[in-house]
Chain A
């Protein structure tokens, strides 16, 4: 649904060049919720703004719903009518909502319809319908300044949906909201994704957002996509940086001569009482050093760091047992972890 090929964006100011995007290939399938995560300055924001060409990429192409937007852009800074028409079929929500303070909630939702040239009566009908959809039917006559953050974002979403888009871009839509409101907004996005078959591309720095609603995810760093794929597949990938960020486990062994093992649960294996079985079968004491579990798309997934007594040589059989159960097991290089922790502390 959304494809970018070798997308590059270089900013030039006063002779200095900053590469914000460095050859990004992104592929978002129709009907999925795709999350791009990364730290500030990783290029996420530039990427999402390149998708509807609010930002002109330096090179590379952007295709949305089979239409090559970069070809529509033309050379100048101004957006031609073909590009503007294409944009009107891509909804966008923003971190700071960007609602017009001079218009009521209903008039804000009507704005994209005015741009599309929809007649007055039809506009009102559609706006009220959308406000109903996002649960704000009673606030139609209020001004944005009278709403809470979560309500403002709901208006933002209703407005983004006014042009019946196939694609919704979300630029840190929940980053300015408290955790509870974040959850309700994500739930709304999830519902819309299912009800309307909306493809959602969202960028965020909150791993929770990816855990809660994303089917697929990509990790960005230094203007590049480091890792991408379905969230469930990523979890099954040994050494996946994204899986580690999504389910961070830490903890140092309690003494020398211990084996530290990271276990990733997913699919059917996650439902089995594996750890207690292991303990009983081999009569060993297991301590849990850290764990992160969550439910993604109805399945329990997560990672756990456990400690087995004795060095690795003595634990080959129990580790084999865990693998047999269909779990993914990585023996953690504790020294490395410890140095990593120390480094983290030194920062």
Chain B
């Protein structure tokens, strides 16, 4: 296969991937953020402790996360049809991608928000702040760098998931690599596709890292973006194929967001 033959295929696949991942990531962030915050607020010792809500939401998130993506996609077929009117094509892939990523991002948000020092919550309460004020003025702004890192992780995971969206005819880079490279033995095209995926993932990771760093004011010399290519290179190999990405990226994100020495509790017990 020559380059001129590959080019239109690659171009279209690229656009499909970006379109699917873009929409599903946006939906995942909008849906996962309140869910994650809710998990922290309703936790025991939280601002609004509520065991029932916490356990129910926590279980829903667990079940949704334990579902293998390909099964989730099939299980959601009728739901997808109800929403977008079709069960094939990129638009149809967005629904299961978003549904799968919401609980994923919610857990990352939960971890990030839990890292916020309980003393800050107490300080705002002592000023007469309401729960909404605590969320808006403390929890979200203080965890913003971690929230951005988590969004980056979610996007990278979504790029991995989107490879499977080919099973519903959604196209995209991953699907191209599977259909042409693997099934038709077009090794060259497969490697080109994998390389493009690696570049796309690196770009997202780099942008996310720069944004998170620029917004973090925790250390005296903050706001100066540094090159962190090493970390994104580690993400390349994982991002290229299949759903194994999730766990690796997940642990990388947890390691990235955890601040040593920071209290993870929301309220101090005397």
Q: Which residue numbers of A lie inside 8 Å of B, CB to CB? A: 11, 20, 45-46, 49, 52, 54-55, 77-79, 81, 84-88, 90, 92, 94, 96, 98-103, 111-112, 114-116, 143-146, 159, 163, 169
Contact = CB atoms under 8 A, between A and B. Distances in A.
B125 A54 contact: yes
Contacts of B123: 92, 94, 98
Contacts, number: 84
Contacts of B219: 145
Contacts of B217: 101-102, 143-145
A100 B130 contact: no
Contacts of A79: 125, 130
Contacts of B222: 143, 145
A78 B127 contact: no
A115 B119 contact: no
A153 to B, nearest CB: 13
A240 B87 CA distance: 83
B31 interface: no
A72 to B, nearest CB: 12
Interface residues of B, number: 29
B129 A145 contact: no
A-B pairs, 7 with minimum CB distance: A88-B128, A98-B123, A84-B128, A112-B127, A143-B217, A87-B128, A98-B119
B250 to A, nearest CB: 25
Given A78-B131, A79-B125, A88-B128, A100 B142 contact: yes
Interface of B: 48-49, 117, 119-120, 122-131, 133, 137-138, 141-142, 144, 215, 217-220, 222, 269-270
A115 B218 contact: no
A145 B117 CA distance: 15
B179 to A, nearest CB: 46
A98 B122 contact: yes
Contact of B126 (A85, A87, A102, A143): A87
Contact of A90 (B126, B137, B144): B126
A52 B220 CA distance: 33
A116 to B, nearest CB: 7
22 contacts: A20-B270, A46-B270, A55-B270, A84-B129, A85-B128, A86-B128, A92-B123, A92-B126, A96-B119, A99-B120, A100-B120, A100-B137, A101-B142, A101-B218, A102-B215, A102-B217, A112-B128, A115-B127, A115-B133, A145-B218, A159-B127, A169-B126
